[in-house]
C-alpha cells in the first residue's frame, strides 16, 4: 500500500537549505539538527549578519608576511625555502577544523599558526592554553613529493581565529610548497542546520549601532560550542587541547570562542539574556545553567565559579550571577519543567548566600573571586551586595512562578533590608560623590557595583541619576576605565553600565557608551571586525589585565567573548522597548526609548511565538507598531506630553500617567497594532 507523505514547511525549508548549500554539513559532528531552519525576522538587516551560509568557509584574501595585501582568495600560494610565510585572512572570526590541500617538492615542515588579532600573526599562534608555555603552531612533517591533504585533529580544533599563517621550515634549499585550497569547517552552534536563522533582530537609524548589535550576536554564536570541545585543564605542557568534556548536552554557552571554552558563571549574567534575545537559542543557555547546578556543592549549596573541567569554587558574585541568569532563562523560555527540576538546587543556593547576610542587612562577601578586578572584593563589597539585591528580587519572581509566595515575601523583605543598608552613608553610599563606595572603608567608587545598582534597582530612585553622572567621570576616548582595575576597559562591566542607564531611561548616555567602546573595537583594524573583545587597555592595546595574570604580549585576550554582548538585549529591550514580564512573554511591556535616534525596530522569539516592534519619528508624529502573539497581554509605557493625542488602531486613548515613572500606560492585547502619538 502506498503511503502519501506530505512534507511540512520545516522539512521543505531544510531540503531547500541543503540544495542551496550542497557542500555544507548541516550540523556539526553527532549533534542533532534541532535548531531553527529560518530566521524569525527576515529582512534587509540580515546583511549585517556575519554567520556563514555554510559550515565550510574559505578565506577572503591572502596577505604577505608583513600583513600587507597580496591577493584575493582563491589563488595559489607558493612557499619556498626556510621561513617562507603567507597569511590567509578569513575576513572575520571563524572557528573549527582547518583543511588544507597542498603540493610539495622536497623535505621539510609545513606550519599552521592561528590568531584572532592581526598584530599577532606569524610563526606562533596567539595564546589560549592558560599555561606558561606558548601555543606555538601545528607542524606537518613532509618527506615526499606530491599532492597532499591535511585536516586538523579534533583535539587541535581552534575555536576562534581570523588569520591563519602558513609557513615552511627546512634545512634544504629545494623545499617548496604550493597551497592549493584552504577552508575551515565551523564547529560552533553545532545543532543548527542554518547558522543565519536568528531568533531576534535589531535595526535602527544608526549604522554603527546596527553593526555592533550583529557583531555581538555573532560573538554569542561563536561561544555556543560542542560539549566535548572545551579547553583541557590542567593546561597542556605544550600547544593547546580543545577536547575537554564539559559535562552534558549538545551545545553549551561558554565564555569565549578561543578560550577558556568553559562555563564561567559570571559571564552568564550578560551572555544568557543577550543570547536569548539575539539568537533565540534556549538549548545552549539551559545546558550551561544545568552544568552549574549539577556541579553544585551538595553539602553547602554553593554554585561553581566555573564548571568542568576547571571546577573552581569561591565566588559569591558568580554564584549570584548564575541565580539571576536562571530567572532570565525562565522569563524567555517558559521552561517550567526546568525550573521544577532545579528548584531544590536553587533554594539551597539562596540559603547558602543569604547565610552570609549579617545583622547589618548586608552581604558579607567571603568568596571574593570574580571577574578579575584588582580591588578588594570581600566584606561589604558593593558589587556583591548589588548582585545579592538582584538575586533576591529575581528570586522572589521565580518563587511566585514556582507557587512559593511565602518564600517570595521572605526574599523581598531581605532585599528591602539590604537596599536600606547599602544606601546608608554608614555603609556604601557617599552623598558627597553621589556614588557607592567599594566598601564602607574603601573610598574607591567602582564601575561594576555602581552600574549593577542602576540595572537591578539597588540604588534609590532619587539618587540613580547621580550614580549615572558619576560613572561618566571614568569615560575616556575609547571607553570607560574601570577604577577597580586601573588602566582597563571592560565591556563586561560596561554592559552593566549600558543597561543600567537604559533602565533609568538615560538613553542617550547608554547609546554614547556603546558607540564609544564597542564602536572603537568594531572599527579597530587589528581586531576581527565581526565579534566583541573581552577587554582592552586604555592605551588602545590588547594588554587587558596585563599586570593581573594575562600574558604580557596581549595575545591571550579573547576577541569573541560573550560577557561583552550587553548591547544585544539592551537595544531590543529598552530602545525598541519590548521585553517579556511573564514566562515566555505571556505578558510584556513596550516602552520605547528614543535617545538621539529617529527610528528603531527589533524583536525576539519565545516558545509562544514572535515578538516585534518598530517606531519612527515622522513629521506628523511618533509612529509605533508592534506584533506579538495573540494569546499575550501587554502594557505600553509611552513618553507623551499633556497636549498629545494617543491613537491605538485609530481609537483615541486617555493619557493615564504612572505616578512614579511619569509614563502614560495603556493595556493592550497581543496581535498587530499601530499607535500614533500626535
Residue 20 lies in a domain: no
Residues 407 and 516 in one domain: yes
Residues 490 and 502 in one domain: yes
Q: Where does a domain end: 512, 540, 573?
A: 573
Res 648 pLDDT > 90: yes
Residue 119 lies in a domain: yes
Residue 31 lies in a domain: no
Residues 557 and 601 in one domain: no
Residues 246 and 174 in one domain: no
Residues 560 and 653 in one domain: no
Residues 494 and 616 in one domain: no
Res 25 pLDDT > 90: no
Distance CA 300, CA 293 (A): 13
Distance CA 14, CA 175 (A): 47
Mean pLDDT, the chain, rounded, equals 96
Distance CA 111, CA 94 (A): 19
Pairing of strands 578-580, 536-537: unpaired
Res 342 pLDDT > 90: yes
Residues 372 and 415 in one domain: yes
Cα Rg of the chain (Å, integer): 26
pLDDT band at 552 (very low <50, low <70, confident <90, very high): confident
Query: What local confidence, expressed as pLDDT, does residue 10 receive?
Result: 45
Please return the burial class of 99, using the count of CB atoms within 10 Å of its CB with bins 0-12, 13-18 and 19+: middle
For the residues 238-242, what does the mean pLDDT come to? 97
We report the CATH number of the domain holding residue 628 as 2.60.420.10
pLDDT 10s digits, 383-404: 999 999 999 999 999 999 999 9
- In this prediction the pTM is 0.96
We report the CATH number of the domain holding residue 300 as 1.50.10.10
pLDDT band at 549 (very low <50, low <70, confident <90, very high): low
pLDDT band at 420 (very low <50, low <70, confident <90, very high): very high
Residues 285 and 337 in one domain: yes
Query: What local confidence, expressed as pLDDT, does residue 642 receive?
Result: 86
Residues 288 and 371 in one domain: yes
Res 14 pLDDT > 50: no
Residue 223 lies in a domain: yes
Query: What local confidence, expressed as pLDDT, does residue 546 receive?
Result: 67
pLDDT 10s digits, 193-228: 999 999 999 999 999 999 999 999 999 999 999 999
Domain count, the chain: 3
Residues 352 and 299 in one domain: yes
Residue 198 lies in a domain: no
Residue 23 lies in a domain: no
Residue 33 lies in a domain: no
Residues 605 and 565 in one domain: no
Distance CA 646, CA 389 (A): 37
Could you list the residue range(s) of the whole structural domain that residue 274 is in? 205-573
Q: Where does a domain end: 152, 186, 220?
A: 186
Residue 591 lies in a domain: yes
We report the CATH number of the domain holding residue 109 as 2.60.120.260
State the greatest distance between any 2 C-alpha atoms of the chain, in Å, as a whole number.
Answer: 86
Res 2 pLDDT > 70: no
Residues 538 and 654 in one domain: no
Distance CA 58, CA 49 (A): 17
Res 629 pLDDT > 70: yes
DSSP 182-224: EEEEE-SSTT-S-TT--S-EEEES-HHHHHHHHHHHHHHHHTE
Q: Where does a domain end: 126, 152, 186?
A: 186
Distance CA 52, CA 227 (A): 22
**Residues near 678 by Cβ (< 8 Å), separated by ≥ 6?**
620, 621, 644, 645, 647
Sign of torsion over alpha carbons 269, 270, 275, 278: positive
Amino acid at each position: 500500500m502506498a503511503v502519501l507523505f506530505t512534507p511540512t514547511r520545516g522539512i521543505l525549508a531544510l531540503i531547500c537549505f541543503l540544495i542551496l548549500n550542497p557542500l555544507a554539513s548541516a550540523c556539526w559532528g553527532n549533534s542533532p539538527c534541532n535548531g531553527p531552519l529560518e530566521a524569525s525576522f527576515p529582512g534587509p538587516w540580515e546583511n549585517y549578519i556575519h554567520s556563514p551560509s555554510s559550515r565550510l568557509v574559505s578565506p577572503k584574501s591572502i596577505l604577505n608576511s608583513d600583513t600587507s595585501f597580496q591577493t584575493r582568495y582563491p589563488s595559489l600560494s607558493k612557499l619556498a625555502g626556510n621561513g617562507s610565510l603567507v597569511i590567509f585572512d578569513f575576513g572575520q572570526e571563524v572557528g573549527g577544523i582547518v583543511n588544507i590541500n597542498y603540493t610539495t617538492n622536497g623535505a621539510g615542515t609545513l606550519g599552521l599558526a592561528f590568531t584572532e588579532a592581526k598584530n599577532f600573526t606569524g610563526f606562533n599562534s596567539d595564546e589560549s592554553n592558560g599555561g606558561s608555555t606558548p601555543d606555538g603552531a601545528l607542524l606537518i612533517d613532509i618527506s615526499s613529493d606530491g599532492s597532499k591533504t591535511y585536516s586538523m585533529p579534533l583535539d587541535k580544533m581552534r575555536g576562534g581565529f581570523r588569520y591563519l599563517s602558513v609557513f615552511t621550515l627546512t634545512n634544504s634549499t629545494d623545499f617548496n610548497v604550493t597551497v592549493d585550497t584552504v577552508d575551515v569547517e565551523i564547529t560552533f552552534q553545532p545543532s543548527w542546520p542554518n547558522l543565519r536563522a536568528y531568533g531576534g533582530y535589531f535595526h535602527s537609524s544608526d549604522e554603527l549601532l546596527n553593526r555592533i548589535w550583529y557583531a555581538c550576536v555573532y560573538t554569542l554564536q561563536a561561544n555556543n560550542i560542542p560539549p566535548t570541545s572545551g579547553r583541557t585543564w590542567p593546561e597542556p605542557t605544550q600547544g593547546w587541547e580543545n577536547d575537554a568534556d564539559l559535562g552534558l548536552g549538545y551545545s553549551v554557552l561558554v565564555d569565549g570562542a578561543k578560550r577558556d571554552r568553559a562555563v564561567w558563571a559570571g559571564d552568564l549574567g550578560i551572555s544568557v539574556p543577550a543570547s536569548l534575545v539575539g539568537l533565540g537559542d534556549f538549548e545552549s543557555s539551559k545546558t550551561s545553567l544545568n552544568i552549574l547546578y549539577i556541579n553544585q556543592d551538595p553539602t553547602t549549596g554553593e554554585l561553581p565559579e566555573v564548571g568542568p573541567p576547571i571546577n573552581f569554587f569561591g565566588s559569591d558574585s558568580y554564584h549570584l550571577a548564575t541565580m539571576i541568569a536562571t530567572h532570565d532563562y525562565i522569563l524567555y523560555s517558559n521552561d517550567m519543567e526546568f525550573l521544577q527540576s532545579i528548584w531544590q538546587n536553587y533554594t539551597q543556593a539562596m540559603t547558602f548566600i543569604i547565610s552570609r547576610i549579617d545583622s547589618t542587612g548586608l552581604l558579607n562577601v567571603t568568596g571574593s573571586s570574580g571577574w578579575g578586578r584588582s580591588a578588594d572584593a570581600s566584606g561589604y563589597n558593593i558589587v556583591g551586595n548589588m548582585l545579592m539585591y538582584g538575586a533576591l528580587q529575581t528570586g522572589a519572581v521565580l518563587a511566585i512562578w514556582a507557587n512559593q509566595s511565602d518564600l517570595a515575601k521572605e526574599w523581598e523583605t531581605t532585599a528591602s533590608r539590604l537596599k536600606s543598608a547599602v544606601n546608608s552613608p554608614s555603609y556604601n553610599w557617599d552623598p558627597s560623590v553621589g556614588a557607592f563606595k567599594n566598601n564602607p572603608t574603601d573610598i574607591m567608587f567602582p564601575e561594576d557595583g555602581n552600574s549593577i545598582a542602576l540595572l537591578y534597582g539597588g540604588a534609590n530612585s532619587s539618587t540613580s541619576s547621580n550614580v549615572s553622572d558619576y560613572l561618566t567621570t571614568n569615560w575616556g576616548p575609547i571607553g570607560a576605565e574601570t577604577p577597580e582595575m586601573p588602566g582597563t576597559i571592560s565591556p563586561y562591566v560596561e554592559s552593566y553600565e549600558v543597561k543600567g542607564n537604559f533602565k533609568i531611561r538615560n538613553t542617550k548616555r547608554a547609546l554614547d557608551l556603546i558607540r564609544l567602546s564597542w564602536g572603537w573595537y568594531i572599527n579597530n583594524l587589528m581586531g576581527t571586525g565581526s565579534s566583541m573583545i573581552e577587554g582592552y587597555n586604555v592605551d588602545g592595546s590588547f594588554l587587558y589585565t596585563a599586570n593581573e595574570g594575562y600574558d604580557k604580549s596581549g595575545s591571550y585576550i579573547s576577541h569573541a567573548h560573550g560577557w561583552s554582548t550587553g548591547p544585544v538585549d539592551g537595544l531590543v529591550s529598552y530602545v525598541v522597548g519590548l521585553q517579556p514580564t511573564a514566562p515566555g512573554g505571556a505578558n510584556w511591556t513596550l516602552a520605547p526609548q528614543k535617545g538621539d535616534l529617529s527610528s528603531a525596530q527589533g524583536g525576539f522569539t519565545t516558545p509562544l511565538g514572535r515578538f516585534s516592534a518598530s517606531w519612527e519619528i515622522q513629521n506628523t508624529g511618533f509612529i509605533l507598531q508592534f506584533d506579538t502573539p495573540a494569546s499575550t497581554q501587554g502594557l505600553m509605557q509611552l513618553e507623551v506630553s499633556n497636549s498629545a493625542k494617543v491613537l491605538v488602531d485609530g481609537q483615541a486613548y486617555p493619557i493615564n500617567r504612572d505616578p512614579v515613572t511619569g509614563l502614560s500606560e495603556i493595556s493592550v492585547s497581543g496581535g498587530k497594532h499601530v499607535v500614533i502619538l500626535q
